[in-house]
Amino acid sequence: MIDRLEKEVDMLERHLQVLKMVIESEPIGIVKMSNETGYPHHKVRYSLRVLEEENLIEPSSQGAITTERTAEFVDELDDKLDDIVDKLGSMRIEDAAEIES
């Protein structure tokens, strides 16, 4: 159950790292992103596809570039992540009565 969540968080981290690279270095291609992040080409390509489906980037002849939606997404990102962290924190059961075996 938690393993799946960890994998999703890892994938989200990769998507956001790829988005950050596009924001900082646009236009940027798959090879350069792969070399700088250490992620294999296919994982970078997948992240680019996800970001494109979310209208956060678009392809150009020189590489990936941001869209009009990117700035709005980045502005809202920290608040959304804070909300998720708070929600996860509220799920803790460490203070519950001890479970008897």
Q: Where are the domains of the chain?
A: 1-91
**Protein fold of 1-91:** Arc Repressor Mutant, subunit A (1.10.10)
- Each residue's pLDDT tens digit, 28-46: 999 999 999 999 999 999 9
Residue 101 has pLDDT above 70, yes or no: no
Cβ pair 64, 24 in contact under 8 A: no
Mean pLDDT along residues 66-95: 92
d(CA 35, CA 39): 7
DSSP codes joined into one string, 7-29: HHHHHHHHHHHHHHHHHHH-SB-
User: Among positive and negative, which fits the CA dihedral 79, 85, 5, 38?
Assistant: positive
- What average pLDDT does the structure give for the chain? 93
